[in-house]
Amino acid sequence: MPEYSLFNSADDCLAYSLDERAFDESLLLNVLFQDRILLNEAYFFNSTLLADHVKRAVGHPSLFEVASREGLIVPAFRDPSTEPLDQAYALMRHEYGPEYALLHPQMQPYRDRVVASIDVGLEKEHAFFWPSGKGQSGDGYRDLVREMLQTDQPPAYVQDDPNRAQLFERVWEVSKPWRFEHVEAAVAQTRAKGAQGLQRTELFCSLGWSLGMPKKIVTISPPDIIQRCSDPEQRLAMEIFLKWVTQCHHLNQSRYFEASINFPVYNIDQDFLMDSLLRSPLDRAPSSDEGFRCEVELPPLDVLMAVDASDLVKIRADLGLGYLLALRRWQDDPSLDNQEAAKSSLGNYCSRICTRYDTDVRQPLVAAIMQGRASPEVELGKAVMSAAGAAFPHFGVFSQVAQPMTTVYRYVRAKKTDASLKPRSRQLEVTLAETGL
C-alpha cells in the first residue's frame, strides 16, 4: 500500500501568502521525495495556485500533469462512487450547497488538462477514498480548532523563538473574538445546513459577514476578508489568524486521511509561514518517534524547475527507488534502525541527484558561457537565470571588444554563475503520519 503525503500548497486559502515559486518548489520536492502525493478533490477545481502552475507550462506539460499521468498525484475522493475525477464536481456541489462557487474562473481553461492527466494516472494507481466508519472530518476540525485556538495563552513552544513569541502574543489578543465567538457561530452554521462539526467555509462566512459583507454572499475567500479589515493592525492579525485556521484544516485532514503532512517544513529557504501555529523549521527537530531532519546537498531548486518535467520524474524513477523503499519501510515500522536507514538512503539519493545535475546541467552551462557559444537564456531559459543571476543583456557588446576583456568578462561571469549554480546544503524534514503537534 502506498504511503501518502498531503499536498497542501494547492489550497487557495494560502494564495494571498504563497507565490508561484513556493508552490513549484513544494511540488518538486514532493515529487522527488514522497511516495505518493495526496490532493483534496476540491483543489482540482478551485486552486488558482494550481491553475497558474499549469498556465506557466507553455508548449509542454507541467510537472503536475506529468506526475499525475504517472500516478504519483492521487485524488482524495469523498464518495466511493466518484471516479473518474469529473464526477467529484457534482458531489461536492451537493455537499457545500449549490450557492458555493466551486469552479474558479482561473481554473476553467485548464480544468480538462488537469482532469485528463489525473484520469490517465488512475489507470496506474488507485484513487484514495475518505475513510468510512471513522466519524466526520468536520468533527475533527472543530475539535482541533478549539484545542489549538480557544485558550488564554498561545502554545508554549512558540517561546522557542523570541520574535515569533512576540508576534503570537500580539495577535492572540486581537484575534480573541475570532477564536471564540466566530468559531462557535460557524459551528452553529455548519450544523444548520445539515453537516457536522465545523466547515472552514462557514468560518470564513462568519468573519466576512462581521466585517460588513452581505449575508447573501456565501463564497468568501481570505483576500475578501482581509480587504475588509479596518486598519493595518487588524489586517496583520487577520492574515495570521487565517493561516492558523488553514493550518489546522491541513493537520486535521492529514490525521483523517492517515497521511503525513509536509507543509510548510519542506520550504526551508523561503519559510512563508514563520507564524505557523504548528511545527516549522523555527522549532526544534522532531523527536525520533515523529520523524527526522537531516542536512543534504541539493541543486538550486529554481534550476531544477527549469528542467523538463518528464526528466524530473525520470530522476525519481532512475535514482530514487532505493530511498522510497527505505522510506516506506520506516513508515510501516518506525524503528530507530529503519529511520537511520531511511536517512542514509535520503542522503545517498540527494548525492546522486547532484552528480547527474552537475554533469547534465551545470558543467555544460558554464562551458557555454566560457566559450561564448550561447547566453544562459539559450541554454536553460529565463527561469534558470533567475537562479544564476542577472542575464546577459549586453553580451554582444562585450564580444566585439578586445579578446582579453572578453575573456576576463566571461571568466568572471562564468565563475559567478558557477558559484550560484552549485549544489548547496539544505535541511529536509520527514515526518510520520498522524504525528502530534
Question: Which residues lie across from 293 on neighbouring strands?
Answer: 429
* Distance (Å, whole) CA 52 – CA 70: 21
The mean-pLDDT minimum among 127-136, 190-199, 305-314 falls in 127-136
What local confidence, expressed as pLDDT, does residue 161 receive? Answer: 76
Tens of pLDDT along 335-364?
999 999 999 999 999 999 999 888 887 787
Render 353-419 in DSSP notation, one character per residue.
HHHHHIIIIIHHHHHHHHHTS--HHHHH-HHHHHHH-S--TTHHHHHTS-HHHHHHHHHHHHHHHHH
The mean per-residue pLDDT over the stretch 299-326 comes to 90
Beta strands in 162-308 (DSSP E): 260-261, 291-298
Helix (H) or strand (E) holding 240: helix 232-257
What local confidence, expressed as pLDDT, does residue 276 receive? Answer: 61
Residue 380 has pLDDT above 60, yes or no: no
Higher-scoring residue by pLDDT: 272, 424? 424
The mean-pLDDT minimum among 30-44, 177-191, 418-432 falls in 418-432
The mean-pLDDT minimum among 10-19, 62-71, 271-280 falls in 271-280
Tens of pLDDT along 398-417?
333 445 556 676 667 677 77
Extents of the domains making up the chain: 4-130, 137-250, 318-425
- Cell representation of residue 85: 475525477
Sign of the dihedral defined by the CA atoms of residues 301, 32, 425, 259, in that order: positive
Tens of pLDDT along 149-170?
999 988 887 787 788 788 888 9
Q: What is the mean pLDDT of the chain?
A: 82
Tens of pLDDT along 85-106?
777 777 777 666 666 667 889 9
Cβ-defined contacts of 155-161 (< 8 Å, 24+): 155/277, 155/437, 157/283, 160/282, 160/283, 160/284, 161/282, 161/283
* Distance (Å, whole) CA 120 – CA 69: 5
Q: Side chain identity at 400, as an amino acid letter?
A: Q
Question: Which residues lie across from 120 on neighbouring strands?
Answer: none
Are 262 and 34 a contacting pair, CB within 8 Å? Answer: yes
